[in-house]
Amino acid sequence: MENVNPGFFEAKLSAAKIHFERALDCKHTEFDDLYPYMIEHPQFFWYKRYVAWSELLTIVRLSEELGVEWKGQFTDKQADYIAKRVMSSRVLDEWYETNDTKEHVGNAE
């Protein structure tokens, strides 16, 4: 599309990624301001993460529909999670890749 501004979508995608990661880390997000009473309820963090995940998927879907590249802001594993569209416990537990792999430990010896 001729009128698509890739920079606009990259900025929105970056903001959505940060929002999801802040929710994942149980840090303050806009959701806290919109629903301050939710902090008192145990399911709060699940809803907060779901809202952030939904926002991220929406921006990715729009990017795909407009032909804007989105995968560059994510690791291969994160892009795979997004492509599958389901926020599972694996996504929550393994979103951040760490250097604690056996391969890394083996190289340190």
pLDDT tens digits for range 99-109: 544 333 333 33
Residue type, 15: A
Residue 92 near residue 21 (C-beta atoms within 8 A): no
- Average pLDDT for 37-50: 80
Percentage of the chain beyond pLDDT 90 is 52
Q: What is the mean pLDDT of residues 47-72?
A: 94
Q: How many domains does the chain have?
A: 1
Domain membership flag for residue 102: yes
**Does the residue 1 lie in any domain?**
no
Residue 90 has pLDDT above 70, yes or no: yes
Residue 45 pLDDT class (50, 70, 90 cuts): confident
100 belongs to a structural domain: yes
What are the start-end ranges of the H helices in the chain? Answer: 6-24, 30-34, 44-65, 76-84, 89-94, 102-108
- Model-level pTM greater than 0.85? no
Residues 6+ positions from 31 with CB-CB distance below 8 Å: 23, 38, 47, 48, 51, 52
Instruction: Give the domain extent around 20.
Output: 6-108
Pairwise pLDDT comparison (109 vs 53), residue with the higher score: 53
Residue 47 lies in a domain: yes
Section 28-45 average pLDDT:
77
Q: Residue 109: what pLDDT?
A: 34
